[in-house]
């Protein structure tokens, strides 16, 4: 029986690209009723076994085992998360970037941070904005994240990002209005994804992506262009898991006096000490404390 990849899910249909199909080809399929009974839902990114039907469509019979599964956006088998955050319009928001990183660490994906709209940095501002950009890049690279600075307008970093996407499913995510669609359009001339102007009053863009779809690159990669999120909640994450999502805490946490240390107020906490000594960035530790508080408040509410 033929196998394929679900590249789009829309209105109860699954669009399956057969393994031998040419780029852009897919078969419109329904899912078997057994999935509903089992409480399963085929996802974009799923490898499936399907049966062609007489009308040129198909039926999804079986979902093959998943390597990863994201709840929001609902994507299976993604390996790499590309987090896009603009340097200007809207200004770089490190707290929101750290929130996204927590979710990506929890999901077990590798991360590529793209700092977009480099062309908007003002040379006349005494170089301050460029200094901030350099410091942000250095901060996250020191933690162990890969950071690429891009500009869709000038093409800066576009080829570098594209080469990182080869041969696997990647999820593009980040704050709305930061240039996700523009970067994809720059990497894939002729794609013409809808882009949105920034609302200067709100400082953020309108969401231009309405459903999850895999966009195929000619290097064997697929990009899940997903709705832009301006808010994330921590409901699927336990408060005790939070510190493990700050990867630089690990080496210090091993030396904490108490097992299960929250790194907030316990005596002999090596993570807090590292933040005081500058071995952990102050912004990262402050965001950890804020997220911890946010999670505790959410728990009380539910």
Residue 175 marked in a binding site = yes
pTM equals 0.82
Same domain, 48 and 82: no
Q: Quick one: which of 25, 24, 73 has its CA closest to 45?
A: 73
Residue 118 marked in a binding site = yes
Same domain, 82 and 219: yes
Contact 109, 79 (CB under 8 A): yes
Same domain, 54 and 92: no
Residue 230 marked in a binding site = no
Count up the domains in the chain and report the number. Answer: 3
Residue 152 marked in a binding site = no
- Percent helix, percent strand, percent coil in the chain, to nearest 5: 30, 25, 45
33: tokens are 């009723």
Residue 180 marked in a binding site = yes
Residue 239 marked in a binding site = no
pLDDT in tens, the chain (302 residues): 899 999 999 888 999 999 988 888 899 999 988 888 888 899 999 999 999 998 889 999 999 999 988 877 788 999 999 998 888 888 888 999 999 999 889 888 999 999 888 887 765 455 677 778 888 999 999 999 999 998 878 888 888 998 999 999 998 887 767 667 777 777 776 554 544 433 333 334 444 445 778 988 888 899 886 654 444 667 678 889 999 999 999 999 999 999 899 999 999 999 999 999 999 999 999 999 999 999 988 766 65
Instruction: Tell me, yes or no, whether 295 lies in a domain.
Output: yes
Instruction: Tell me, yes or no, whether 70 lies in a domain.
Output: no
Same domain, 10 and 126: no
Residue 154 marked in a binding site = no
Residue 46 marked in a binding site = no
Q: How far is CA 226 from CA 69, 161, 171, 176, 214, in A?
A: 14, 17, 7, 10, 9
Same domain, 138 and 212: yes
Residue 119 marked in a binding site = yes
Residue 176 marked in a binding site = yes
User: For residue 255, what are the domain limits?
Assistant: 239-301
Q: What's the CATH code of the domain at 14?
A: 2.40.50.140
Residue 226 marked in a binding site = no
Q: How far is CA 66 from CA 1, 48, 114, 172, in A?
A: 19, 10, 27, 19
Contact 27, 52 (CB under 8 A): yes
Same domain, 53 and 99: no
Same domain, 111 and 161: yes
Residue 269 marked in a binding site = yes
Residue 4 marked in a binding site = no
Instruction: Tell me, yes or no, whether 233 lies in a domain.
Output: no
Same domain, 23 and 96: no
Residue 261 marked in a binding site = yes
Same domain, 173 and 286: no
């Amino acid at each position: 029986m033929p196998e394929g990849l679900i590249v789009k899910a829309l209105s109860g249909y699954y669009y399956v690209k057969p393994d031998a199909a040419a780029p852009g080809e897919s078969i419109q399929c329904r899912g078997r009723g057994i999935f509903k009974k089992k409480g399963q839902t085929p996802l974009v990114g799923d490898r499936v076994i399907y049966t062609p039907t007489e009308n040129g469509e198909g039926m999804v019979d079986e979902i093959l085992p998943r390597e990863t599964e994201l709840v929001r956006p609902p994507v299976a088998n993604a390996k790499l998360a590309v987090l896009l955050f603009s340097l200007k319009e809207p200004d770089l928001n490190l707290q929101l970037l750290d929130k996204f990183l927590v979710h990506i660490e929890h999901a077990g994906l590798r991360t590529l941070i793209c700092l977009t709209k480099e062309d908007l940095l003002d040379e006349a501002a005494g170089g301050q904005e460029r200094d901030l950009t350099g410091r942000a890049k250095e901060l996250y690279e020191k933690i162990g994240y890969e950071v690429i600075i891009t500009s869709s307008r000038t093409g800066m970093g576009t080829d570098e990002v594209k080469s990182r996407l080869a041969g696997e499913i990647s999820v593009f995510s980040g704050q709305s209005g930061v240039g996700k669609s523009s970067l994809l359009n720059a990497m894939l001339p002729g794609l013409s994804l809808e882009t949105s102007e920034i609302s200067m009053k709100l400082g953020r863009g309108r969401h231009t992506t309405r459903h999850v779809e895999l966009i195929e690159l000619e290097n064997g990669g697929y990009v899940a262009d997903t709705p832009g999120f301006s808010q994330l909640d921590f409901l699927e994450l336990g408060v005790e898991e939070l510190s493990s999502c700050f990867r630089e805490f690990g080496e210090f946490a091993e030396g904490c006096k108490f097992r299960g240390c929250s790194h907030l107020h316990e005596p002999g906490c090596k993570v807090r000490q590292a933040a005081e000594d500058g071995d952990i960035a102050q912004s990262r530790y402050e965001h950890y404390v804020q997220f911890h508080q946010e999670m505790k408040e959410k728990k009380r509410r539910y």
